[in-house]
Structures are given as C-alpha cells and as structure tokens.
Structure 1
Amino acid sequence: MSVNLAPDTVASGPADLGPAPLRTRGGARSRRRVSGWVVLVVVAVIAVLMVFPFWIALINGFKPSDQYLAGGPVSIPTELDFSSLVDFWHQVDFNRKLLNSVVIAGSVALIAAALSMLSSFAIGIGRIKGRVWLLAVFMVAFTIPQEALVYPLFVLTRDLGLYDTLLGVIIILAVLQSAFGTYMLSSVLGAFPKEVLEAARLDGASRRQVLGRIVFPLTRPMLSVLVTFFFIWTWNDFFLPLILLPSAKNQTVSVSLGALSGQYTSDPTSLAAASLAGILPALVFFLIFQRTLMRGVNLGAVK
C-alpha cells in the first residue's frame, strides 16, 4: 500500500514549521541578554554609590585645608598632605584605640564563634528537649535593640566590677553575637547526615570526639564566615562601647571617631583622615579573609 503526497505539501510542511522555534529561541536569548545588561548596570550603580564615600574620605584625608576651601570635597588634591592624619593620630592616641579595637573585636569573634558552635551542636545534633523554643529565644535575643539592654548591662557590669574594662565589653558582645551564630548553625547541624553520626557512635566515638573530629572540620568554612562577620560587626559597634567604656584609655576606634566629630567639626580634612584611619583596618581584614568568606557562603548555599 502506497500513499502519494503532493509535492507542494512535502515542500511546504517543514518550511512552515522550521522558522517558528528559531524565532522563539532567538527572542528568549535576546531577552536574557537585555536582562543581563540591566542587572549589570544596576550592580555597577550600587557599587559606585558604595565606593563613593570611601573615595571622598581618601581624597580629603590627604588634601591641604586651603585646597579643600578652594575646590570643595570632590576636587582632586594636587599635592599630598599627611598633617591631618598625623595630627589626628597623636591627638586621640590612636595606637591605643587601635589596640583596644583589635583586642575586643578579635576576642569577641573567636569567643562568639566557639559559643555558637557548642550551643548549636547541643541543639542541632544533641536534639535536646525544647529545641524549637530555644531557637525562638535565640532569634529574639539577636533582634533586641541595644538601647533596651543598656541599663541592665550597666548595672550588671558595675556590680561585677567589669564596668569600664575591656573584659566586660568582650563578654557582653560575645554573648550577644553568639545568639545569631547559634541560630544560623543550628539549622545547618540539624540537617547533618545521621549516617555519619551513627557510624562514629558504632566506632565508639564520644560526643567530644564527634564534635572535634567530624562536626568541626565540616563546619569550619561556616565558622570562618561567622568569625569574619563578628569581627566587622564588633569593630563597627559604637553604642555599647560608648556606654561601658567611658575612660579615654579604654575607648575603641569608633568611639574616638565619634568624639572627634563633635570636637573638630570645623575641620573636614581631619574628619576625613579620621574616617580613613577607622575604615582601613576593617577593610584590610575583609580583603584578607574574602576568599574564606566566599567559600563559606557557597558551601552554605550548597548545603
């Protein structure tokens, strides 16, 4: 049995069906290209807006006062003047302020990460009773504004002899920061492979060995992310160090910058130099650990 098809039907069939999918794919490809350019432009604009304050602080921190008065804050200096930075460094004893900030921020980052690891291990893997309620408490803890905690913390540090000491601020900020770390790590450890834990228990591993040899190596990238965040947050913290560290010898960089802006408001180049001196240490720390930060973020996204 044979079927005869007309020549015009055979010729016209594929020709009518072919171009439509090509047009559809071409239109989708062009739309994706346009949307990609839109996203790129938006990201570029946001990046410029974020970098602009750093640029203003950089060019004005090394600008002579007469050039600032003549050209304004956005003019490029024709010569470099380090006198504003040197004067600020000596006026506020910046070496001492820098050391205080490094000690407080570094200690808080490490202690808060350790507390977050231990508490999240108990909640996420230990499966203690009332796990959901504990996570709710931690979530509420890191959302409470610092203004509501000032008076209780002031009374507590005063009664314990920790007022106007670096140790008192380190303990308070480490506990407050660990609330966020516990909440974040508990969700990760709650989905930890049970087969790995059961195999370790069958091999006779204790809880301490499970934590130190299995859980800690696998969560080290995320702990690095927490340490980076805790360090930067503590470095930029202004309110609690202002209240709990009234003496000049214990002040941090952020508190000294706040005092400077109130005392030397008429000298914008000194303010720019002070801002630059306060920004650079945190920026250097972030640039050093940015690869670790991105690795931890990507690992958390994959998990």
Structure 2
Amino acid sequence: MSVIVTPTTTPGASNAADPAGGSPTPGAVSAAPAVRSRFTRGPGRWVVLVLVTVTALAVIAPFLLMLLNAFKSPSDYSTNGPLSLPTEFYTEGLTTYWNQVDYPQKLLNSIVISGTVAVAATVISLLNAFALGIGRVKGRVWIVGLFLLANMLPQEALVYPLYFFAKQVGLYNTQLSVIIIFTVIQSAFGTYLLSSVLTTFPRSVLEAARLDGASRWQVLWRVIFPITRPTLSVLVIFFFIWTWNEFFIPLVMLISNSTQTVPVALATLQGDRLMDAPTTNAGALISLIPCVIFFLIFQRTLTRGVMAGAEK
C-alpha cells in the first residue's frame, strides 16, 4: 500500500518563486496592486487633485474675467463692477477695437513678423549648433556661454543701442528691424539649447555617414536634421509665441500705424487718464484668439517634440 504525502503550504512562503524559473507567489502578485490601490485611493490623491484644480482655476480666472467684461457696456461696467454678469450682450466694444486700430492690418503684421522670426531663428540656431556641437569649434564652451549671457540680457538694456543703429542704417519704423532683432535674440537661446543636444550626438553615426562619402552639408540635412526635427518643431512654436507676445521693442521701433503689431495696437486703447475697460477687454480677447488657435493646431507637434526629447 502506497502512502501519498501532500505537502502543506503556507501563504507567501512555500509558494515562493523557484530560482530556476517558477511562478511567483500569490503574495508577491497581490502586493503591487495593494500598493497601487493605497496610492490611488489614499488622501494623497485628493490633495494632488485639489492642488491641480486650484492651479487650473487660478490660470483660467483672468481669461474668464476678460471674457466676462468683453461683452459688457461701459455704463454696466462702471455701475456693477468687473465681477458682475453683463445685463446685456454688448458687442460695440469689439467693433470699436476692430475699426479703431485696423485690426486686420495689425494681425497681418504680427503673423509676418512672428512667422519669419520663428523660421529664421530656428534655421540659424541649427547652423550655429551644428558648428559648435558637431564641428567642435575651438573655444565652443565660451561661445555657448556668450550666447547664454546674451539671452539673459534685459531688453531695456538693448533698446537704446538698437534704436540708434536702426536710425543709422535706415531700418527704423520698419518690420525688418524687429525681425532682425528678435531673430538674433531667439537664435541665441536656440543655439544654446541645440548645441547642448548635438554635443551628445553619437559619433558612430557621423563616422558612418562620412565613410559613405557624405559631405558636411549632407550630414547636416540628411542625418542631423531628421533626428532633431522634433526639437526644431518645438523651437518654432516657442519662437512664434514669444515673438507674438513681445511688446517693448516693437513699441519703440514701430511708430507708424501701418507697421505696428497686435500687442502695440492693444496698448493704444489706453490713455493717461482714461481707459475704456470693455473695449480693452474685447481687444484683448480678439488679440488672444489667433495665438490660441496656433497653439491648438500645433499642440500635437509640441507634445511629440517634448516626448521625443524626454525619450532620448
């Protein structure tokens, strides 16, 4: 007669994973979901949720206030204040701003200046970074430091020399002067960013391209450019938005009504002792819409660029 002995098991001990490749213990399998469950259902989750909600409301509040007062009459604004709901749907502020500042012309000026600066600054940044990061120019560390220092200089310190030189060369009150200035300013940041990226570029890829007979120009446009395209797309988006929102230098350099940008046109609505708040809010709302549309169109491109940089 044979006796069959059934081994007794204790949870979490005898069912441990075999070093030779056995299955994991039930206790080990259930430990991770338990930890994850405590994290997702614990008080920390609600604290993070409350903080994110408060931050989102703080960011959205100015835009809601602007939208609220854009369709409010001046008498309603002065009587009930900026936090009250409009008593009527007032659209005269929108038409006043549109006609008074010639908004279509200002919009075209901003698109031309911002788009040209975004493309030109990105191309110059790529060329500079290729020379500094791939070409290994002597003293490149000092050169990159100078680019970083130039990017940190305040515009108030640059405006007088820029004004003087623009007067001397006949570019004052022209869009070309603003395009040149912001192309140099934005490319300083782009050069600093891209040069640090290209410094870590794999040398084996470059050597393989040279062995195949590729010139420096072919290495740049057939090897470097396709790989850095996500980063370049992010720079184009940032440069466009940054240039669109610039105010001080365009205010000084562009004095003619036919050359001014949208932010400068918005500032003309306010006088020394008088401000039409509903018209100003309506103008700010119209001025914000193109930038928001641009961001929404290229949002996926921006996300891909950021994620590609994170994965690298």
**Same fold by TM-score, threshold 0.5 exceeded?**
yes
Judging changes above 3 Å, is the alpha-carbon distance between structure 1 residues 207 and 23 closer, same or farther for their aligned structure 2 residues? closer
1:196 matched to 2:205: yes
Letter paired with 2:238: F
Q: CA deviation at 1:74?
A: 2.6
Q: CA deviation at 1:39?
A: 2.1
| Aligned with residue 205 of structure 1, among 214, 239, 243 | 214
Identity of aligned residues (%): 53
- Aligned counterpart, 2:142: 133
| Aligned with residue 71 of structure 2, among 51, 62, 67 | 62
Q: Which has the higher helix share?
A: 1
Q: CA deviation at 1:65?
A: 3.2
- Aligned counterpart, 1:255: 264
Preserved CA contact (<8 Å) 1:221 1:295: yes
Once the two structures are superposed, the pairs formed by residues 149-188 of structure 1 within 5 Å of their partners are 149-188=158-197
Whole-angstrom distance in 2 between the partners of 1:58 and 1:224: 31
Q: CA deviation at 1:51?
A: 1.1
3-state SS of 2:201 partner:
coil
- Aligned counterpart, 2:5: none
3-state SS of 2:152 partner:
coil
1:40 matched to 2:77: no
Letter paired with 2:94: L
Measured against aligned partners, the alpha-carbon deviations of 1:106-160 in whole angstroms (never above 9, x if no partner) come to: 1111110111011001111111111111110111010000011111111111111
Q: CA deviation at 1:34?
A: 3.0
3-state SS of 2:51 partner:
helix
| Aligned with residue 245 of structure 2, among 236, 253, 258 | 236
- Aligned counterpart, 1:142: 151
Whole-angstrom distance in 2 between the partners of 1:226 and 1:277: 25
Preserved CA contact (<8 Å) 2:269 2:276: no
Whole-angstrom distance in 2 between the partners of 1:257 and 1:31: 48
3-state SS of 1:249 partner:
coil
3-state SS of 1:75 partner:
coil
Whole-angstrom distance in 2 between the partners of 1:28 and 1:90: 58
1:30 matched to 2:38: yes
Letter paired with 1:80: F
- Aligned counterpart, 1:3: none
Whole-angstrom distance in 1 between the partners of 2:32 and 2:157: 59
Q: CA deviation at 1:246?
A: 1.6
Judging changes above 3 Å, is the alpha-carbon distance between structure 1 residues 28 and 212 closer, same or farther for their aligned structure 2 residues? closer
TM-score (norm 2): 0.86
1:108 matched to 2:117: yes
Would you say how many aligned residue pairs link Structure 1 and Structure 2?
293
Gaps of 5+ in 2: 1-8, 14-26
Considering only aligned residues, what root-mean-square deviation do their CA atoms show, in Å? Answer: 2.6
Preserved CA contact (<8 Å) 1:264 1:271: no
Judging changes above 3 Å, is the alpha-carbon distance between structure 1 residues 265 and 290 closer, same or farther for their aligned structure 2 residues? farther
| Aligned with residue 297 of structure 1, among 284, 287, 306 | 306
Measured against aligned partners, the alpha-carbon deviations of 1:213-232 in whole angstroms (never above 9, x if no partner) come to: 11111111111110111011
Once the two structures are superposed, the pairs formed by residues 273-284 of structure 1 within 5 Å of their partners are 273-284=282-293
Gaps of 5+ in 1: 1-9, 15-19
Greater shift after overlay, 175-184 or 259-268? 259-268
Preserved CA contact (<8 Å) 2:147 2:189: yes
Judging changes above 3 Å, is the alpha-carbon distance between structure 1 residues 283 and 23 closer, same or farther for their aligned structure 2 residues? closer
Preserved CA contact (<8 Å) 2:269 2:275: no
Whole-angstrom distance in 1 between the partners of 2:214 and 2:35: 59
- Aligned counterpart, 2:294: 285
Q: CA deviation at 1:293?
A: 0.5
Letter paired with 1:30: R
